[in-house]
């Protein structure tokens, strides 16, 4: 998914896609981030947490006990990882941006100290 596309989607649609509120991260229909999701809850005949939401699809009790194991990243970090890391994994989680900013910081420091 392109982040630019995601940013154009309404807040309500983003919450339905994920299955959590965006402001506090609570499962839809709940109030706190770590509240247990109620997958049986319905409102107006529809599941409160949509059947095709990430939360429902990733929940072990909803997919035969399979657990989705992942490491969460903030959007800027996730979108700047090198392509080689995407397919083969990396022993170092450094990103192109981190490497680039490190070298630009040292260049700017050198420039300031030599003036």
Interval 65-87: pLDDT, tens? 998 887 776 655 444 444 444 44
CA 23, chain centre distance (Å): 14
Under the banding of pLDDT at 50, 70 and 90, the label for residue 22 is very high
Q: Identify each DSSP E strand in the chain by its residue range.
A: 42-43, 46-47
Q: What is the pTM of this model?
A: 0.59
> Are 95 and 80 in contact, with CB atoms under 8 Å apart?
yes
| 23 pLDDT above the threshold of 60 | yes
What count of other Cβ atoms lies within 10 Å of the Cβ of residue 35? 13
């Amino acid at each position: 998914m392109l982040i630019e596309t995601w940013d154009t989607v309404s807040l309500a649609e983003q919450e339905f896609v994920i299955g959590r509120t965006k402001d506090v991260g609570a499962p839809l229909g709940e109030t706190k981030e770590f509240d247990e999701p109620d997958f049986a809850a319905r409102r107006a005949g529809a599941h409160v947490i949509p059947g095709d939401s990430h939360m429902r699809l990733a929940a072990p009790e909803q997919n035969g006990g399979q657990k989705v194991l992942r490491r969460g990243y903030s959007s800027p970090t996730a979108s700047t990882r090198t392509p080689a890391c995407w397919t083969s994994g990396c022993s170092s989680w450094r990103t192109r941006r981190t490497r680039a900013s490190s070298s630009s910081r040292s260049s700017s420091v050198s420039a300031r100290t030599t003036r």
